[in-house]
Chains A and B, each alone.
Chain A
Amino acid sequence: LFYQIQVPKPWTPSSESQRIHEALEQIPYAEQQGFESVWFSEHHFRPVWSHNSAPDLTLAAVSQRTSRIRLGIGVVLAPIHHPLHVAARMATLDILSHGRVDVGLGRTGYPYQLTPYGADLKDTRGMWQEFADVLPRIWTRRRSPTTETTSRFHAGRFCRNLCNNRIPRCGRRAAATRRRA
């Protein structure tokens, strides 16, 4: 399953809330029916199409209503996040779900999702690449990388305890491969 949390107009005060709570009923049913995974997108500032700006929170709720179905973020928008935050949140979700998390990484093709966070289109390829390099290492190595990355990652802190040794599965959106086109 894939969820954008789409909320068509006309809206009522409860439209958005209703859609999220419907998803929380649909996903456990899907698990019963044999579905193996549910993925949530991450979108910002795109009403109607996707009210999914905090997918890890929604998946945390899903994790408490299900026991087997895998929980995916498809995809984390790398240029607008700090990888240490993402690593910690995904690791926590992985703990809450008893190891069912899949993490997708993307760079977004939408400028309006970047500008409010101070990111720029021209930087997204490099930021995505850094994120893809760094995130697995945060989960698996004792120290975060300090020399080869930008100032976003300069903190030479211990990350292993931060992430509680959890290693969610990591993937990349196909868009990432388009950089080779």
Chain B
Amino acid sequence: MGGLFSGEGGPDRVKQLMALYRDALRTSQVDSAGPTRRAGLMTAGYCHEDPRVVATRGTELVGWYIEQQRERARLVWRDYDPTTVPPDYQGYYARDQRLASGPHPGEPTPEQVREQGTSFCVGTPAECIRFIELYEALGIEEMILLCAIGPAQHQEVLHTIRLFGDQVIPHFQAKEARRPVAEASA
């Protein structure tokens, strides 16, 4: 039984959700038909070797993604009577209302979000490696990247995939190969 998390809330939120996930695994009576208990992180991904391209195009894509999240929040509850929101959805409702009415003063701009480098895997290969290692340290075992971000062109997506294949994935493969046998089998 695995867990799929989203990186948009940043590492603190993922850490919080992973604690719930682990707690659920401990107490769950449902037996999985699957062989693994992998924890995966889904987030938007864009990679380019030129930091200037990352700064411009990467920021555009992050901005589009964030704005679409806001649009989702505007649409979700549009025709819904707020007095009938079930208790276990009221957290979502409050979150979406706030998101829909944003951006709020003090919230980071898309450029700041990208520069911060903790919510989206957007950057040079070295920056993408740092991003993944940040979540690897929290126990994330699989990175699930949305590279076909709305406005990203086919060639841009292929370029990101190429850079991951040439630089990012080999970094983690080499790291895995260096791990002591005892640790790998633990």
Residues of A at under 8 Å CB distance from B?
Answer: 1-8, 19, 22-23, 25-26, 29-30, 32-37, 39, 46, 48-49, 74-75, 102, 104, 109-112, 121-122, 125, 132-133, 135-136, 139-140, 167-174, 176-181
Contacts and interface: CB of A to CB of B under 8 A. Distances in A.
A3 B1 contact: no
22 contacts: A1-B146, A26-B154, A26-B157, A29-B161, A32-B165, A33-B169, A35-B161, A46-B75, A48-B68, A112-B79, A135-B33, A136-B30, A168-B34, A169-B2, A171-B3, A172-B2, A173-B4, A174-B3, A174-B18, A177-B24, A180-B24, A181-B20
B3 A22 contact: no
Contacts of B5: 174
A176 B146 CA distance: 21
B33 A139 contact: yes
A22 B155 CA distance: 10
Given A111-B80, A112-B79, 4 more contacts: A33-B165, A49-B72, A102-B34, A133-B30
Interface of B: 1-6, 17-18, 20-21, 23-24, 30-36, 38, 40, 42, 64, 68, 71-72, 75-80, 85-86, 88-89, 91-92, 142, 144-151, 154, 157-158, 161-162, 164-166, 169-170, 173
Nearest to A9: B150
A180 to B, nearest CB: 5
A2 to B, nearest CB: 4
A1 B145 contact: yes
Given A37-B144, A110-B76, A112-B75, A121 B86 contact: yes
Contact of B34 (A2, A26, A170, A179): A170
A22 B154 contact: yes
| Residue with the highest number of chain B CB atoms closer than 10 Å, among A33, A125, A179, A181 | A33
Given A110-B76, A177-B17, A2 B144 contact: yes
Contact of B20 (A2, A37, A122, A180): A180
B3 A177 contact: yes
Contacts of A2: 42, 144-146
B42 A74 contact: yes
